[in-house]
Chains A and B, each alone.
Chain A
Amino acid sequence: MNDSIFTRDRLINLALIITTMWFIWFAQHFFDEYTIRIMNNVAIFIILAVSYNLINGITGQFSLEPNGFIAIGAYVTAILTVDADGMLYQYDIEDPYPWVLALQANFGWALFFSGTISALLALSLAFPVFRVRGDYLAIVTLGFGFIIRILAINSPEITNGSLGINDIPEASNLYWTGGLAICAVLAILNIIYSKYGRAMKAVRDDEDAATAMGINTFKIKTMAFTTSAFFEGVGGGLLAALLTSISPDLFTFFLTFQLLIIIVLGGLGSTTGAILGTIFVMAGLEYMRFLDEPMNLLGFETDAMPGMRMVVFSLILIFVMLFAREGLMGKKELKDLFKKKKANK
């Protein structure tokens, strides 16, 4: 290896980060509102997809819970940033608890608490969740995600029940979403390339063998689960501040399904794949809007068909699973692509 601190990989990374930062600055100043909104969405979903990929793709634990953690993050940010007057005005079902009114924080701290509370919840859920494996784990996490939503509906003193929280200050801009997306990607890549990341991959490939090699698989799985919950919470907070109104209906299994398509399309286990998958799926959802609207097919007028996009997306998911199980990137990262080219020469 090169002893200099400027190795080739590091220079490429640095160049990528600086380009992305410049692009964010450029976009914030020169792009129109619609494009910026989509870019905000893409940045938030990059955070969500990359962290979801950490538990699903890298560690191989098929969690279906991100909607729960995103909901927690979104509600924490909403409660911390909406002021007391706004809450008293909105909470129609029950009066909010005094502590709900008293808790206030600026946006940065709110995001931090969103992540921390999600992570703490993940930490405590890890004990029941990781007693089971494989498809049972999928169902248990699905159940917890569902229970979190039911709790949100049934505690109107905290969450305003099914009405949700409105008039959340619109604090998300490209600096926040893009900046945090860069941070999340870097943090998760650093975890993946650390000894913990290698242990996570070992757990994915063969859990029994990993145990035999002296890896504390429970600890490793919990670490991946908690980290991914932290970033999902932060992403949820950003989402709340972007949409400015949230309700339990936003955090159904559908959200998890979207993330699942993203990481499967990108390639389970590849961070680069998760980012590419996010861009493809989010762009696809925007461009395929026409599918939901009335169409003129060879003289036939069809009615508006809300849901057509999702039919297409579920077909894509099935298709990818049947014919291209590796997705776009497989388990490879961007720098592995460079390496391969070099080897071929």
Chain B
Amino acid sequence: MDILTFMQQMVNGFSLGSMYALIAIGYTMVYGVLRLINFAHGDIMMVGAFLGYTFMAVFDLSFPVTVLLSVMLCALMGMLMDKIAYKPLREAPKISLLITAIGISFFLENAFTVFAGGTPKPFPVPEYMEKIFDVSGVIFSVASIMVPIVTLILLLGILYVLYRTKYGMAIRALSFDIKTVNLMGIDANKIIALVFGLGSALAAVGGLFWAVNYPSVEPMMGVLVGLKAFAAAVVGGIGSVSGAVIGGFIIGFTEVVVIAFWPEMGGYKDAFAFVFLILVLLFKPTGIMGEDLEKGRF
């Protein structure tokens, strides 16, 4: 392997890792406040990509407007999902929440299969995103640079919200104890809705980037990506936002690098994330950035 190929794989890994990271942040934030693995989170990413496809291919809107609209709609959908399906179960056993989440995930996948069709649809990538730079042999597309940069900006934004605003303080307080937060005069349900909104918005961005990089959308696209992003959140330490980003990069890089070095392992590509997940849970359940499970998160 020469240095050029290596650099090329680094670029690809960065791009893939960023997308996992964007989705992993949503998992980690919801888990932080509700201790719930939001199974439907990967499907929100799918909805984001589908909305993007609808706005661009059907309504012929420009890419920035599409991003704005899809992100807003997905954030609304995340809040709605919380209100309809998770809020009534706040006091219920955690397993009930998990089963409901699986139900919602299946509902979204099948509803989109029924109403949008199960076959992959080509995503109309804007031309300027496909423009290619050749820096002394290493090939960049605009998209592959934009994805990590946007991810980092969004990460900084989320960290700002969490640590420098009142809402962030409320979110962090929720991760310690929901009941006490209510007693302090904060409407916990509003803050939880905010967390779902933020997480779903990031998932929508991830979904749109995914659609740009692998230019097609289909109803089942969120399943595997969602599970891998969850693995990333656990590897980074669930509950920690920066951990989720680190985890996302680790999983993304592993996938890209292992296949570059050992192409015969290609068939096992989708299993790496799970192997990582199981190893982390066995040897360091708190992950890289995570704290003790019983203490607060973020």
| Residues of B contacting A71 in the complex (Cβ-Cβ under 8 angstroms) | none
> A187 at interface (Cβ–Cβ under 8 A)?
no
Interface digits, B66-102 against A, CB 8 Å rule (1 contact, 0 not)?
0000000000000000000100110010111011101
B98 near A128 with CB under 8 A, answer no
Q: How many A-B residue pairs have CB under 8 A?
A: 106
> B118 at interface (Cβ–Cβ under 8 A)?
yes
Interface digits, B211-250 against A, CB 8 Å rule (1 contact, 0 not)?
0000000000001000100110010000000000000000
Instruction: Assess A311 versus B278: contact at CB under 8 Å? Given A142-B227, A150-B270, A317-B99.
Output: no
From A12-20, A27-35, A129-137, the one touching the partner chain is: A129-137
Interface digits, B143-184 against A, CB 8 Å rule (1 contact, 0 not)?
000000000000000000000000000000000000000000
A318 near B37 with CB under 8 A, answer no
Among candidates B92, B94, B274, residue contacting A147 with C-beta atoms closer than 8 Å:
B274
B267 near A138 with CB under 8 A, answer no
Query: What CA separation (Å) do A317 and B40 show in the bound complex?
Result: 14
Interface digits, B271-297 against A, CB 8 Å rule (1 contact, 0 not)?
100110110011001000000000000
A146 near B274 with CB under 8 A, answer yes
B271 near A135 with CB under 8 A, answer no
A139 near B37 with CB under 8 A, answer yes
| Residues of B contacting A321 in the complex (Cβ-Cβ under 8 angstroms) | 89, 96, 99-100, 103
> B139 at interface (Cβ–Cβ under 8 A)?
no
> B114 at interface (Cβ–Cβ under 8 A)?
yes
Among candidates A132, A143, A153, residue contacting B274 with C-beta atoms closer than 8 Å:
A143
> B107 at interface (Cβ–Cβ under 8 A)?
yes
> B5 at interface (Cβ–Cβ under 8 A)?
no
Give the size of the chain A interface in residues (CB under 8 angstroms).
38
Among candidates A140, A146, A306, residue contacting B270 with C-beta atoms closer than 8 Å:
A146
Interface digits, A31-55 against B, CB 8 Å rule (1 contact, 0 not)?
0000000000000000000000000
Query: What CA separation (Å) do A305 and B36 show in the bound complex?
Result: 32
Query: What CA separation (Å) do A321 and B267 show in the bound complex?
Result: 37
A308 near B94 with CB under 8 A, answer no
> A216 at interface (Cβ–Cβ under 8 A)?
no
Q: Looking at B106, B277, B281, which has the most chain A CB atoms within 10 Å of its CB?
A: B106
| Residues of A contacting B234 in the complex (Cβ-Cβ under 8 angstroms) | 136, 139
> A124 at interface (Cβ–Cβ under 8 A)?
no
| Residues of A contacting B114 in the complex (Cβ-Cβ under 8 angstroms) | 305-308, 311
For chain B, residues 22 to 37, give those with C-beta under 8 angstroms from any C-beta of chain A: 35-37
A307 near B275 with CB under 8 A, answer no
Among candidates A140, A253, A264, A268, residue contacting B278 with C-beta atoms closer than 8 Å:
A140
Among candidates B96, B271, B285, residue contacting A132 with C-beta atoms closer than 8 Å:
B285
B282 near A260 with CB under 8 A, answer no
> A218 at interface (Cβ–Cβ under 8 A)?
no
Query: What CA separation (Å) do A307 and B88 show in the bound complex?
Result: 27
Considering the complex, give the chain B residue whose CB is closest to the CB of A292. Answer: B114
Considering the complex, give the chain A residue whose CB is closest to the CB of B98. Answer: A135
Task: Report B264 CB to chain A, min CB distance, Å.
Answer: 10
| Residues of A contacting B102 in the complex (Cβ-Cβ under 8 angstroms) | 257, 260, 317
A-B pairs, top 5 by smallest CB distance, nearest first, are A143-B274, A317-B103, A314-B107, A314-B106, A154-B267
20 A/B residue pairs, CB under 8 Å, sorted by A: A60-B95, A62-B98, A131-B281, A132-B281, A134-B95, A135-B36, A136-B281, A138-B98, A139-B234, A140-B277, A143-B231, A257-B102, A260-B99, A260-B102, A306-B118, A308-B114, A310-B110, A311-B110, A314-B103, A321-B96
Besides A138-B37, A318-B100, 18 new A-B residue pairs in contact (Cβ under 8 A), listed by A number: A128-B282, A134-B95, A135-B36, A135-B37, A139-B37, A139-B227, A144-B274, A150-B270, A150-B271, A153-B267, A260-B99, A310-B110, A311-B111, A314-B103, A314-B104, A314-B106, A318-B104, A322-B88
Q: Which residues of B contact A (CB under 8 A)?
A: 35-37, 85, 88-89, 92, 94-96, 98-100, 102-104, 106-107, 110-111, 113-114, 118, 223, 227, 230-231, 234, 267-268, 270-271, 274-275, 277-278, 281-282, 285
